[in-house]
Amino acid sequence: MRWALVKVCLAVTAMVVIAFAVPLGLVIREMASDRAFSDAERQAAMIAPALSITTDREELTRAVLSTESGDRGRLAVHVPAPEKAADGTEGEALDIGTRRASPKDVATVRKAGRASITEVTDGFALLQPTALSTGDIAVVEVFVPEGEVSNGVATAWLILAGVGVALIVGSVAVADRLGVRMVQPAQRLAGAAQDLGEGRLGTRVPEEGPTELRSAAVAFNSMADQVVQLLANERELAADLSHRLRTPLTVLRLNAASLGEGPAADQTRAAVEQLEHEVDTIIRTAREQRPQTQGVQTGAGAGCDASEVIRERMGFWSALAEDEGREVRLAGVDRTVRIPVARPELAAALDALLGNVFRHTPEGTAFAVDVHHSGDAVIVLVSDAGPGIADPEAALARGASGTTKPGAVGSTGLGLDIVRRVAESTGGDLRIGRSVLGGTEVRIWIGLHGSTPDRGRRGHGRRVARRFGRPRRKEPRTTAGPATSGPS
């Protein structure tokens, strides 16, 4: 494209220069010729007064020598012979100065009575007819050298040629700069497209250059962002679905532990352990590849009844809790509590937290779930009486980064990340602390109107959690649905 623009500009400028320079050069040559012959006519006119007075040779010779052309030997006067006198004698024709024109040309001008230019050796001769006092016609010849006819023409043509070349060079330079301005953004766009095709998803194009290329760069960057978003959503979905498989895996592991001894029981436990290992591998692989800046997409108008979802999931987990001898307490779900979170997302968050309770606390450890409605937010507290988390900040960081903390066996960090993203998608947050039961307390703050949590009310959740320390009526256990995979 760059050289194409240069060639087009070169051709157009060359045609314009030729169209103007050639006629102008011809005009300059004609002007130089007219100037030379006009001066010759002026020199010839200076002899006309003398010819109208006398035809004496000496007088005419002095008149010729008094002119510039005559002094330089370029002026001649041709006076015809007079008619016969009364005594029968004939006059003599006068030729004063150096003759260059042929007698035929002189006779033709005398007969025609008008000036003429004839070509002679080394130049041109201007033949100017002039009337004498006797009524005859004399011819004044002025020699014009060829050099004076073309005087200054070569210099003018060189100047025109130089101006034309300068115009062509300037136009080529301007076309080259314009081409660079157009080609470089196009090359960057092509290179970015190639990089994106090779898997470098962070490639973006500077929005520079002409309007069309800027629009193309904006469209490319938007497309690249969309590709990254789609890939992130797919990887997130793969990780979330894989993590949800851990809910039925927990049930299988607990059931396999109660099979007793024997080859079949050992094989079942080994298969469950292998399956859990594969699921963890899928979760880690998906999380290592996804960007960490994507939040939970709940969709426009997404929402559910938090009390209903919590009752359903607690009914599922209470069956396992009864098998392991765990005391379960549930509070705050006796009325409808609408939250701007999709039902599957909230169910996945609860399964992640309750699954962690069963996975990381000994059998017989009590746990509790409390829901509190504060007007502009909903607080969900999941507490247990286990050993607790020694470093809550590290646990949250592991969930946000997708890396497994050394020593955290079987932990992918995705469970807490799922819960955190659910809370942050509503303007809330996730915090970990010590519960009144002696173990871990996970507080989920869910904003109802996209509001940011009030940092001055951190102690409020703690006061709500303290109510679990008092004896309460145990909630009736609802019948769990099919122990397969939980909500999808």
Contacts of 98 (CB under 8 A, 6+ apart): 73, 74, 76, 143
pTM: 0.40
| pLDDT of amino acid 391 | 82
- The answer to whether the Cα torsion of 391, 393, 394, 395 is positive or negative is positive
Exposed/middle/buried for 153, CB within 10 Å: 0-12, 13-18, 19+?
Answer: middle
Whether residue 66 lies inside any domain: the answer is no
Q: Are 313 and 357 in contact (CB under 8 A)?
A: no
The CATH code of the domain that includes 314 is 3.30.565.10
Q: How many CB atoms lie within 10 A of CB 340?
A: 18
Q: Are 235 and 476 in contact (CB under 8 A)?
A: no
Q: What are the Cα distances from residue 314, in Å, to 6, 133, 389?
A: 76, 144, 23
Residue 173 φ then ψ, to 5°: -65, -45
Q: Are 69 and 42 in contact (CB under 8 A)?
A: no
Q: Are 445 and 423 in contact (CB under 8 A)?
A: yes
Q: Are 457 and 398 in contact (CB under 8 A)?
A: no
Convert 205-236 to b/e letters by CB count within 10 Å (16 or more is b): beeebeeebeebbeebbeebeeebeeebeebb
| pLDDT of amino acid 480 | 34
Whether residue 235 lies inside any domain: the answer is no
8-state DSSP, 457: G
Which stretch of DSSP H or E encloses residue 180? helix 153-197
- Read off the tokens for 188: 């960057």
Q: Among candidates 173, 176, 207, 205, which has minimal Cα distance to 191? A: 205
Q: What are the Cα distances from residue 125, in Å, to 115, 116, 129, 350?
A: 10, 8, 13, 118
Domain that holds residue 296: 292-469
Domain count for the chain: 1
Per-residue pLDDT tens over the stretch 266-321: 777 777 777 776 666 666 665 555 444 333 444 434 588 999 999 988 888 888 88
Whether residue 103 lies inside any domain: the answer is no
- Relative to beta strand 328-331, strand 367-373 is parallel
Whether residue 366 lies inside any domain: the answer is yes
Whether residue 464 lies inside any domain: the answer is yes
8-state DSSP, 455: G
| Residue 390, CB-side half-sphere exposure with 13 Å CA sphere | 3
Whether residue 251 lies inside any domain: the answer is no
- The answer to whether the Cα torsion of 417, 375, 461, 370 is positive or negative is negative
Whether residue 476 lies inside any domain: the answer is no
Cα gap 93→76, rounded to integer Å: 13
Binning the chain into helix, strand and coil, the percentages to the nearest 5 are: 55, 15, 30
Cα gap 383→371, rounded to integer Å: 12
| pLDDT of amino acid 446 | 93
Quickly tell me which residue has 């051709």 as its tokens: 11
Q: What are the Cα distances from residue 268, in Å, to 203, 259, 400?
A: 48, 9, 34
Contacts of 149 (CB under 8 A, 6+ apart): 32, 33, 36, 37, 123, 124
Q: Which residues of the chain have pLDDT under 70?
A: 1, 83-91, 236, 238-244, 246-247, 277-302, 398-414, 450-488
| pLDDT of amino acid 472 | 38
Q: Which amino acid is at 487?
A: P
Cα gap 263→77, rounded to integer Å: 146
Cα gap 43→130, rounded to integer Å: 13
Whether residue 385 lies inside any domain: the answer is yes
Exposed/middle/buried for 337, CB within 10 Å: 0-12, 13-18, 19+?
Answer: buried
